Chain A
Amino acid sequence: MKKTNKEQQALDRLADALVDDVFNASDEEILAERTEMKNLSEEDAKLKALFEQALLKANKSRLAAAKAGAAANQYPIMRAPGPIFDIATARERIRALVKAVDPSHPITLAARNENELSDTDILSMYEDLVELGVVPPITED
């Protein structure tokens, strides 16, 4: 892990002290010092433009975020509808499967007690079996 070196700390402290001094100086002092080094009005016009540009950028990014939010609300995420299952058919096929299976083949207790399972459990189990290729998918027709 990188650590702040001694010279970096020294520069940080110096920067803090210089900033303090700039804020403690009067407006007249600050402007007089600048006049010695730069063309004051030209320099200030540049700064004013820079400040305005920053405000515009902030507005633009806010606008972009608002637009993205509005677009997200306008077009809610569309999910593909799940396959339509006839729950009675699914139960019947699972029951038939349990009956038809070789007695030596291990079958979960849940599958044996199909009538105790909720419709959701049956659907989930049936989907798993379809994925495994054990049972055919149930179609509407």
Chain B
Amino acid sequence: MEDGDQFRLSKLAGKRTRDEVAAAIRGFTPADRARLESTSRYFGRARGFEPEVLLQEALMRAVDGRSCPDHVDVVRFVAQIMRSVAHGESEKLENQVNLVAIDHFGGAADAACQVADEADDAETQLMSAERAEACKKMHDAIIALFKDDDAALLIFEGITDDLSVAEMLELAGLDKTAYQSKRKFIRRTIDKHFPNGWKS
């Protein structure tokens, strides 16, 4: 497809063209770049990706492959791609259905029969076990950071248990301002102790 056609189609669909996305990326402010770098560390380390690789991959997909709606901020768009790349790549394995051919003894129809193999192979089991162990270590290391701060620990656990803000406020006995300042403290503590992401 010609660039002119691509431009017209993108505009008709309410999407930014790749040139518009590239221009927006070139126009990012230092704060925008800093946000995306932080995002790459958080998503990258949560899923075992090198932050820099994740960031580059997301930027490349942003200009070539994904379409950014006109109303979506390009910084958030790139952040969202990082999230989906980090989750997608590891979940691809989780959702993969392995099909194995049944041993067949004659008819052609037998050869076409396949069943889903629900069991992981030895390598996958090993990788899953290693990943689970790494996650547990990271989780424990973060908890250790807040062992002397009950409110921070409660909020951390609230986040990881998917509690609502209202529930966390009630649990921690904080007002909204104190809660927000505690969340900022949690993030800054994690950033300081794990400058390359919360790698244990």
| A19-B138 in contact (CB<8A) | no
Known contacts A7-B136, A61-B64; A55/B142 CB under 8 A: no
Identify B55's interface contact among A14, A16, A50, CB under 8 A: A50
Known contacts A7-B139, A51-B33; A37/B94 CB under 8 A: no
Query: How many residues on the B side are at the interface (Cβ–Cβ under 8 A)?
Result: 62
| A130 within 8 Å of B (CB atoms) | no
Once bound together, how far apart are the Cα atoms of A2 and B93, in whole Å? 7
* 0/1 string, B26-50, CB within 8 A of A gives 1: 1011110111111100110111000
Interface of B is mostly: helix
Write the chain B residue with the least CB distance to A26.
B31
Within 8 A of B (CB), among A37-65: 37, 40, 43-44, 47-48, 50-55, 57-58, 61-62
| B29-A1 in contact (CB<8A) | no
Q: Which residues of A contact B22 (CB under 8 A)?
A: 55, 58
| B192 within 8 Å of A (CB atoms) | yes
Q: Which residues of A contact B35 (CB under 8 A)?
A: 22-23, 30
Within 8 A of A (CB), among B156-200: 156, 159-162, 183-184, 187-188, 190-192, 195, 198
Known contacts A2-B124, A12-B87, A14-B142; A33/B191 CB under 8 A: yes
Identify B76's interface contact among A11, A17, A23, A40, CB under 8 A: A23
Tell me, rounded to whole Å, the shortest Cβ–Cβ distance linking A40 to chain B.
7
Known contacts A2-B120, A21-B184; A7/B132 CB under 8 A: yes
* 0/1 string, A1-25, CB within 8 A of B gives 1: 1111101111111111111011101
| A13-B33 in contact (CB<8A) | no
Q: Sorted from nearest, which 3 A-B pairs have the closest CB atoms?
A: A54-B59, A10-B160, A7-B135
24 contacts between A and B (CB under 8 A): A1-B94, A3-B94, A9-B160, A10-B135, A11-B47, A11-B160, A15-B43, A15-B83, A17-B159, A19-B42, A19-B83, A30-B34, A31-B30, A33-B188, A33-B191, A37-B191, A47-B37, A48-B33, A50-B52, A51-B25, A51-B59, A54-B55, A55-B26, A61-B64
